Amino acid sequence: MSTSADKKILELVDPEYIKKISLFVRSHATGNTCRWIEREFPDIYAEFEKEQISNEAKDQMRKIGNDIFEERMKKHHML
């Protein structure tokens, strides 16, 4: 678990998804999403713990993060 890696990951997520999450639960939702990514994609998450992140890792993480948030937004009827 790395807060700097989490911040880097969340910077790649579409800001519209983040804005739609209530402030009351936003840190819980984003934190748990990053924990899930850490468990399911440990290699890509490890890239984000480094200073230099490859463009390939950024592209993969952008897709993963946005897909997760899109799925959850639809699940909670927020899209």
Q: What is the mean pLDDT of each run of 10 residues along the chain (79 residues)?
A: 92 96 95 96 95 95 97 91
Q: Taking Cα atoms as reference points, which of 23, 25, 16 lies closest to residue 65?
A: 16
- Please indicate, yes or no, whether the overall pTM of this predicted structure exceeds 0.85: yes
Residue 2: predicted pLDDT:
83
Residue 57: give the domain boundaries.
3-75
Other C-beta atoms within 10 Å of 29: how many?
17
The count of domains in the chain is 1
> Residues with Cβ < 8 Å from 63, sequence gap 6 or more?
none
